[in-house]
Chains A and B, each alone.
Chain A
Amino acid sequence: MKSIKWTIMCLAIIISVCGAFATRPKFDCTTFTQYYFTGGGYAPAGINGVNYVCLQSSNTCTYYTTNGGISYSPCTIGLYDACQGCAVKQPAPTAKQSSITH
């Protein structure tokens, strides 16, 4: 009788503890504002794919801060690129389009 009781109780405790750890949200540094290293300091990087991209490299691409800029930690891996390969590129206006707009 006692063995069934303690089996149920132990199962409940193990499942709840393991379940809580398994479903805890993973830390995602990309939810913080991203900064890039300018050489002398850190500057906001903007939106990934719009303002910058991380090219394939083993370097640190962007950094994040949790203490208001006192210290920065590496976040994404790659080579920071502010313009090349950006998702949206404005097409150069044609002569016909220019005449319509003006």
Chain B
Amino acid sequence: MSRRQVFLESVSGLLILLFLYASISKFLDFGTFYHDLNNQPLPDSWTPFLVWFIPCTEIAISIALLLERTRLLGFYASLVLMSLFTIYAIMILLHFFAYVPCSCGGVIKHLTWPQHLALNLLFLVLAASGIRIQRSKLFKQSLISTKNSLV
């Protein structure tokens, strides 16, 4: 196994760790998560939808990252979700909203918003590097299969 492959597996593992931990924590303390979502500067009418959509999306991304066939899709979905979380954290830090809400999800809720932003940026970079390596891996594989079919 090449270093690149180990790095790719480690990146997938870290993203799975983050998403699975965050989603299970939300389900284990569902009442608090519902309350925390209502405390966010988003319309309260979105809460019944978001309270299921966010953790279910996180679990779906974890499953996608686990399987080789759907891994690239999982990386893209991770990038989109982390981008949304990062934009949201930046908007909060720039005082776009009337008040600063709590940050939610297990032990992550103890982080301050600047720490939250740093964590999001780290995972954003990991997801982007995962896409790059996975794409080049798939490209090489398709080249090999084309060569074999020509021979």
Contacts and interface: CB of A to CB of B under 8 A. Distances in A.
Interface residues of B, number: 21
Interface in B94-136: 106-107
A40 interface: no
Contact of A9 (B5, B12, B21, B107): B12
A13 B13 CA distance: 8
A23 B17 contact: no
Interface stretch (A14-22, A54-62, A76-84, A92-100): A14-22
A11 B5 contact: no
Nearest to A3: B1
Interface in B55-100: 66
Contacts of B28: 20-21, 24
Given A4-B1, A24-B28, A13 B9 contact: no
Interface residues of A, number: 17
A12 B20 contact: yes
A19 B73 CA distance: 26
A1 interface: yes
B89 to A, nearest CB: 21
B5 A17 contact: no
Q: Which 4 pairs between the two chains have the least Cβ-Cβ distance?
A: A20-B24, A16-B20, A16-B21, A12-B13
Given A4-B6, A9-B13, 20 more contacts: A1-B5, A4-B1, A5-B1, A5-B9, A9-B12, A9-B16, A12-B14, A12-B17, A13-B16, A16-B18, A17-B20, A19-B21, A20-B20, A20-B28, A20-B106, A23-B25, A23-B106, A24-B106, A25-B29, A25-B32
